[in-house]
Every structure is written in C-alpha cells, then in structure tokens.
Amino acid sequence: MDKKKILLIGTGGTIASEMGENGLVPELTSDQLLRYIPDISRICQVECVQVFSLDSTNIMPQHWVQIVNALREQYERYDGFVISHGTDTMAYTAAALSYLVQGSPKPIVLTGAQKPIGFETTDSKQNLRDAFAVAASDMAGVMLVFNGKVILGTRARKTRSKSFEAFSSINYPLLGMVQDGRLIPYIRPDSGERPVFYDQINSNVALLKLIPGLDCGAAKWFLEHNDALIMESFGVGGLPAYEAGDYYETVKDGLDAGKIVVMTTQVENEGSDLSVYHVGTAIKRSLPVLEAYDMTTEAVTAKLMWILGQTRDPKQVARMFYDTVANDILAFK
C-alpha cells in the first residue's frame, strides 16, 4: 500500500522557536522541524510549506485566511494536513478553520508544543509524530492533537499554561487517543464529499468578561465600536442590574442599532442556560440576544467572525449561529 501524502504547514509558535536575546522567537521552518523526526517517513510521505512564522499571540484573523488559502491551493495534492502552530491561540485557529473549511473528508490536524523542538526535554517531537499519525488516518475534518489527545476543532481549549497536557476537550468527548504511534479512534467526525472553503470574515467582534461591579460603560463602548459583542457572564448566565448603570438598556440600544450580542458563561464546563434565573430570563424573553449554551468562547468568537463575513442581517445571523457546524453547539433550546 502506498503511504499517505501529507502536507506540513508551518506557522511558527513555540515548537519552531529558538532562544533569542529577549526570549523564545519562532525561527525554524517546517522543513527544519521535519529534520528532527526523520522516522516519520515510516508513517507517510511529507512535504512542507511555510505560510508565516509568528508567535501565536501575534496571529490575527487574516492569518487564518492565509492558512485556508494554503489548504485550498494544495487540497487535491495531499491526503491530509498537519499545521504546526503556537499553543496560546491554537484553539482559536482550530475553531476558525472548522468554520472556514467545512466538511473536509481529509484530516486537517493542528499541533504544537510547550517546549521548542530543539530543547533536550520537549513534547514537540511526539506531538508531531502523533499529528502525522492522525493526518495519515481515515479521520476527517479539523482536529487538534496534543499530548496524545485528539480533540475536535470546535471543542478545544488551552487549559494549562506550562505542562505538556495543555489542551482539553470542552463539553464534548475526545475523538480518540494516539498511543505508541497508533491512533485509537473513539468518534469519527462526519464529513462531506468535498470541503467548502470560505475566505470572508469580519473580525469586528469583541469579548467582554464581566466582573463584580463592572460598570456597563465598557459594554456600551464595545457595542458602539464593534459589530458583535460576546458577554462572558457568571454561572449559567445573566446580566447584572446595578444602580450605577443599566446593562439591559445598554444591550437593547446595541441590538436596536443592528449589533449582535451573544451571552455565554465564564464557567468552562456545562455551558449557559439563561432560563434558570431572573437575571437571565429578563433578557432572554424580551431581547433578541443569542446564547452560546455549550459552545466554547473560542468557537463563539470564530463562528461570529465567519457568519458576519457572510451576512449582517440579524435574522440570518441567528439562524446560522444555531446551525450546528462540526458539533460546535449541541445543548441548545
């Protein structure tokens, strides 16, 4: 049997970093990364392309489009794809690619590392090997592979800042594990016959994390300067009713001006439910706010940017927001 042909797409990140005068800086290309794992030739044939070399803190939505363009240009030539990426914003990129490349029958796998590949103690080499094992499998769609875990692109989140077990799957089971170089699949994502690519996004989306006593002026400013506002509230969700400011009227004014408001929760697991408390039902019953339910904030952010790149009509935005893409939202009502 011929070996699968995989494209390694380099974007920078810790995995490709070397120590500079002021800390780690992405320096290595995807070709240079590949030289550290020559044994990968036993798994698949690999070719490389470098789209940019950035610390993932500096990655912006336009860089997601660059990755999409590379995937679209090379899609027919390869059986699967590995994207090496910095860990800090990898979950955002994984979510974004899930919306910008929908229904891919071929695996698109993001991975990275907590330690550079040139360090004596590093997770880089194993993460790359695991990513190639998944990319050469019959899995489909966008996934994140890290520390042996295979995580759906819309459900990934970085939950540890330093340890090798950096990523978790939020409100959704793992797709599988990679052990001793072998993929053990638990769930095989659905796919289409051909992928649908998008390259129009609107990054004019803001996120406001509520803290006790925060004046509604911040929400007002965000709504005035953005097309959409995601509000991370407390617990299952709701808007405060402070004497010093009226969140309800602030959100209503934003909605009346054609802005999109999504309510979500700061709590990592189990999602929002605005119908539980008065602070939530007061807005859910009377204002056309959207609710994130079991979606991650990373997925909500990327989905809004994708949707607003296609339409600004509030009714269409709401319909598309609740349409499930890559199992990003399941527990809604």
Active-site annotation, residues: 14
Euclidean distance between CA atoms 283 and 288, whole angstroms: 8
State the residue for tokens 């494209």: 7
For the four alpha carbons of 241, 244, 247 and 253, in that order, the dihedral sign comes to positive
Euclidean distance between CA atoms 261 and 228, whole angstroms: 6
| DSSP-derived secondary structure letter, 233 | E
Integer angstrom CA distances of residue 179 from 21, 86, 94, 141 = 37, 23, 22, 21
Helix residue ranges per DSSP H, 257-296: 278-284
For the four alpha carbons of 273, 313, 260 and 151, in that order, the dihedral sign comes to positive
H/E stretch holding 217 reads helix 217-225
Q: Do residues 187 and 175 lie in contact, with contact meaning Cβ atoms separated by under 8 Å?
A: yes
How distant is the alpha carbon of residue 179 from its chain centre? 24
Q: What 3-state DSSP class applies to 135?
A: helix
CA angle (143 as vertex; 95, 15 as ends), nearest 5: 90
Other CB atoms within 10 Å distance of the CB of residue 286 = 10
Q: What 3-state DSSP class applies to 25?
A: strand
Other CB atoms within 10 Å distance of the CB of residue 125 = 16
Other CB atoms within 10 Å distance of the CB of residue 87 = 23
